[in-house]
Chain A
Amino acid sequence: MNMFLHELKAYRKSTIIWAFSLVAILVLFMSMFPGLTRDAADFKKLLEGYPEGVRKAFGISLESITSLLGFYSYVFAYILLCGSIQAMNLGISILSKESREKTADFLLTKPVKRNQVVTAKLSAALTSLIITNGIYLAAAVIIAMAVSTKPFDIQTFTLISLTAFWVECMFLALGVLVSAVVTRIKSVLPLSLSTVFGFYVLNMFGAVIGEKAIRYLTPFKYYDTAYIIKHSSYETSYIIIEIIVIAGAIAASYMIYAKKDIHAV
């Protein structure tokens, strides 16, 4: 418990900054929505002018872009991207931070098992993500209500918003695995940015060529907003894959970290 609280305290600042940044991005985008609905026809015409490939890559759907959920799911892609970076950052930091800041000696000469260290750090990172998403979701609902003139389905809205958390969980697990495997990570941000953007580009690419198989490869495609809007639920097969991926990555991280040599610096 002491380690968990210590870690949580260490993430306090970054959690708050991330949460408010996400809300700020959302406010910025959603403030355009009232204007957009007023000139819906013109806006659609403008979008029609873009090549189809570009529209697909950015996830713009002409039929729904002027509805609140449609517009939100377009904007949400960027929120998802930012959230994923946060999660990947957290994941990579939690174990590599100790060896980079040379505190691994401090922690691992205390009477604790390596597994306990991983558990405490993982729970703290997860808690940080839950807090970020909690603040975001609350703010998002309020903002949506403020800008929408027509009523919208709150449940679907929440389901879409929560996909950020599910995708983040995958990136967190992936990040932890990376930090358990790689001996020395000099700086976290370039690594997490490149990984997340890599998956994001893959996602855009998949959308353009319409290849279904790519959906399995990038976490960004696991939760298709169009499907959620239509069915008000997630696709079960992807939930199962996600659980398997996360469980595998976390289990591997535990095993690798328990056997890892902690070298002097």
Chain B
Amino acid sequence: MNVIELKNLTKTYGKARGITNISFNVEEGEIFGFIGPNGAGKSTTIRTMLSLIYPTSGSAMIFGKDSVKYGPEIKKEIGYLPSEVFYYDNMKVKELLKYSASFYKKDCSKRITQLAEMLDLDLNKRIDDLSFGNKKKVGIVQGLLHEPKLIILDEPTSGLDPLMQQKFFELLKEENKKGTTILFSSHILSEVQKLCDRVAIIKEGELVNVEKISTLKENNHKRFKLESQTQVPHDYFKIKGVQNLEVNNHITSFLYSGNINMILQKLAQLELYNLWIEEPDLEEIFMHYYEKEN
């Protein structure tokens, strides 16, 4: 079953920004990554799904129901953590969480204590006295306290220290084991790589690709770095499959995907001092998605 179904979702603001024809599905029980550089349209897509903003055309179905028409009903089962959390300052953490819980018709007090303990959050502090990271924790507890079936996270890790990030990821994995679907938006690939099963890549408001993380890794990219006797001419490696070519005096580096014999023949014709061939990380594979087309 698809928990999220986006069909040609389009939102235009005036002329420039917005999203165009975004379509993808997220299946039940999946941890789905949503990745793209800042300003690519991740938040716009998410906000449309939550009917904070309304689509210009196309639709977003959550739990099989239209997100605009059945907004309040759908939101009973959604936990949302915005990228920037700001809460009513004049409240204590406990009061805010109780207020948040009061919107759901279930008793969440046990869950609140449990989550707060796990994240090391002091419930009796006033929210305006909290640091950014601690405010973020309030956001996490707020998003999870009603045990939603779908968790939507918009750049959730900023402001959390590595240890807390680790705990947070464990928490998400635990929720996922219980069957919760998670949509995780981020511009940091390593996070997504660690956590997600599949990933949608968005760039300048358009969906570039939806792929399994494992496929992306298998995509047989190799990172080449070589030190040559003389500087390699710029157009020497202008062959199919070469990306991110950098020539820096005697050091040349690039990414290559394709027939390995082709590139080895090319290399054989050069006088080399040294050669490195490495497995690239996802970050590098994605870079070409990120870079703006000229």
Contact = CB atoms under 8 A, between A and B. Distances in A.
A259 B99 contact: no
Contact of A101 (B43, B47, B89, B99): B89
B179 to A, nearest CB: 20
Given A2-B99, A6-B99, A106-B142, A264 B72 contact: no
How many chain B residues sit at the interface, stated as a range, is 20 to 34
A149 interface: no
A264 B50 CA distance: 12
Interface residues on A, range: 20 to 34
A264 B75 contact: no
Contacts of B6: none
B63 to A, nearest CB: 13
Contacts of A231: none
Contacts of B76: 111
B291 interface: no
Contact of B90 (A2, A10, A262): A10
Contacts of A101: 86, 88-89
B115 to A, nearest CB: 17
Contacts of B169: none
A103 interface: yes
Given A262-B47, A262-B52, A103 B86 contact: yes
Contacts of B117: none
Interface in A72-105: 101-105
Give chain A's interface secondary structure class. Answer: loop
B161 interface: no
B87 interface: yes
Nearest to B90: A10
Given A111-B104, A264-B43, A105 B52 contact: yes
Interface of B: 43, 47, 50, 52-54, 71-76, 78, 80, 82-84, 86-90, 99-100, 102-104, 142
Interface of A: 2, 6, 10, 101-106, 108-113, 259, 261-265
Given A103-B87, A261-B54, A262-B53, 18 more contacts: A102-B84, A102-B86, A104-B52, A105-B52, A106-B100, A108-B50, A108-B52, A111-B74, A111-B75, A111-B103, A112-B75, A113-B72, A261-B52, A262-B47, A262-B52, A263-B47, A263-B53, A264-B43
11 contacts: A2-B102, A103-B86, A106-B87, A108-B50, A108-B52, A111-B72, A111-B76, A112-B75, A112-B103, A261-B52, A264-B84
